[in-house]
Amino acid sequence: MDIIRKNTDNTLTIILILLTLTSGTILASTTITRANAASPKATFSNYELAGNPFVTGYNVGTSCPNTARSCQNTEGEPSIRADRAGNFYGSSENVFCVLGGLCGGTFAWRSNDNGQHFTTLTPPNSVSVGRPGISPAGGDTDIAVAPEKNTNGLYNVYVASLQSQPPLLNIYVSTSTDAGASWTINPTSASVAGDDREWIAADSANKVCISYHAITLTNDIVVDCSYNAGLVFTQHASAFDPAHIAFLAGFNNVIGNLAIDPSNHVIYQVFSSIANSDELASCTIACHVHTVWIAVSIDGGNTFTDYTVYNNPNTNVDYGHQFINVSVDTAGNVYAVYSDDHNIYYSFSRTFGKNWSGPYQINNAPSKTAIFPWSTAGNAGELDVVWYGTNFYNGVDHPDTYPDTAAWNVYFSQN
């Protein structure tokens, strides 16, 4: 699930892209008129996107919603971003990639009418067409859009995905310089072979960075950057600084997303882990990740410094289910949103990630359980958060083992 907003002088457009168990990837969109506090609550319109690997041509060019019954897909783990011209871009992995083998890879969509319709683009990393198409990549997709125009007068679009054959060997980054009409592919974007759960963020016209778990290096979080629109990633760094790497780089961290502030080029990488080296000595590789961390780079991603966002004194708590999320508003305020498998919270920093306020609980009844938060920040102090929630909570069961009678919904909160 992912969320993005687009501001204008009089309206605010919010689009969610999410996975449902029965229908694949779904769009939910709304446009809110900016008025006083008495304005009615926002409502969302929902529809399914087109992107089926078993359809010749993948439904490329299909606009949804429509009346032709062609708005169906087999996608999961979606992401969404907006460019500064007002276009929305979404990406999502073909679920058959998750099942293993060569597959249709990643799907992508574009909307140029405030999310009222999304058109299926050429798949970013497929190398053939047919039923189904074949791609050596497609897992755990993420998408980014450049904040500045390229030489074509457009904003670069980047889609990252994990290699599927052989599994997790590297990360593919696909780049479009023409609003998603065509793509170039870099199949070896990661500096370390053996990778998992990548994220991607863009800066300036042609800079793009990825972060990922280097699973062959004790789960280190690596950040690699390219300065030529993803053609080559020449800059490499660990998100763990020398003072903390000894205990953070063990198999006791859960990666969150990557964000770059386009106004000052500061890079933020969130994750959860243990609090200190003493804990590592006592729990080795079975520690609870009860501390929210952020790695901050003020030199473009060459080096990072790690700061504590929130350390829960209850060492049995975990903030790794799924995922810790970071976003930055236009004033440079940084927000971290996270779940303990019961409630979701946010913390904020006005000092570029050095000092933090919070946590502040976001959910309340009927969302007695809240997991999988995602956020997007707007103007100064504006934060939108979505999550999966249910009114079921018994204080015993983990959400993964909740009964089938627990009804899950998507919740949205805004300040």
Question: Per residue in 232-280, pLDDT tens?
Answer: 999 999 999 999 999 998 788 999 999 999 999 999 999 999 999 999 8
Closest CA to 180 of 119, 115, 104: 119
CA distance 170 to 164: 9
pLDDT for the residue 37:
44
pLDDT for the residue 317:
96
Residue 9 falls inside a structural domain: no
**Across 15-25, average pLDDT:** 58
pLDDT for the residue 43:
80
pLDDT tens track for 61-93: 999 999 998 998 878 888 999 999 999 999 998
Beta-ladder partners of 238: 222
Assign 390 a pLDDT band (cuts: 50, 70, 90).
very high
Q: How many domains does the chain have?
A: 1
**Across 159-163, average pLDDT:** 88
CA distance 256 to 212: 9
CA distance 145 to 110: 12
102 has pLDDT over 60 = no
pLDDT tens track for 33-49: 544 445 567 788 899 99
**Across 212-235, average pLDDT:** 92
pLDDT for the residue 125:
83
pLDDT for the residue 44:
86
Most confident segment among 96-100, 282-286, 323-327? 323-327
pLDDT for the residue 52:
79
Residue 165: domain span:
45-414
Contact of 306 with 241, CB cutoff 8 Å: yes
> Which of the pair, 340 or 165, is modelled with greater confidence?
340
> Which of the pair, 68 or 332, is modelled with greater confidence?
332
Number of H helices, E strands in the chain: 3, 28
Both tokens assigned to 373: 């938060």
Both tokens assigned to 266: 């500061």
Least confident stretch, 182-186, 193-197, 360-364: 193-197
20 has pLDDT over 60 = no
pLDDT for the residue 77:
82
386 has pLDDT over 80 = yes
Closest CA to 46 of 369, 410, 391, 415: 410
Residue appearing with tokens 């994750």: 271
Query: Which CATH number fits the domain that encloses residue 96?
Result: 2.120.10.10
Residue 223 falls inside a structural domain: yes
pLDDT for the residue 1:
64
pLDDT for the residue 6:
64
Most confident segment among 17-21, 53-57, 262-266? 262-266
Residue 402 falls inside a structural domain: yes
Residue 193 falls inside a structural domain: yes
Residue 236 host element (H or E): strand 233-238
Output Rg (C-alpha) for the chain, integer angstroms: 20
pLDDT tens track for 133-155: 556 666 788 999 999 999 999 99
For all residues of the chain together, what is the average pLDDT? 88
Assign 163 a pLDDT band (cuts: 50, 70, 90).
confident
User: Could you give the 3-state DSSP secondary structure of residue 59?
Assistant: helix
CA distance 390 to 368: 6
Name the percent of the chain in helix, strand, coil, to the closest 5: 5, 45, 50
328 has pLDDT over 50 = yes
CA distance 304 to 240: 7
Residue 268 falls inside a structural domain: yes
CA distance 76 to 180: 20
Assign 381 a pLDDT band (cuts: 50, 70, 90).
very high
Is residue 299 classed exposed, middle or buried when 0-12, 13-18 and 19+ CB atoms within 10 A define those classes? exposed
Least confident stretch, 9-18, 222-231, 363-372: 9-18
Least confident stretch, 134-138, 168-172, 206-210: 134-138
308 has pLDDT over 80 = yes
pLDDT for the residue 118:
96
pTM for the whole thing? 0.92
Residue 18 falls inside a structural domain: no
pLDDT for the residue 165:
67
Assign 101 a pLDDT band (cuts: 50, 70, 90).
very low
Assign 318 a pLDDT band (cuts: 50, 70, 90).
very high
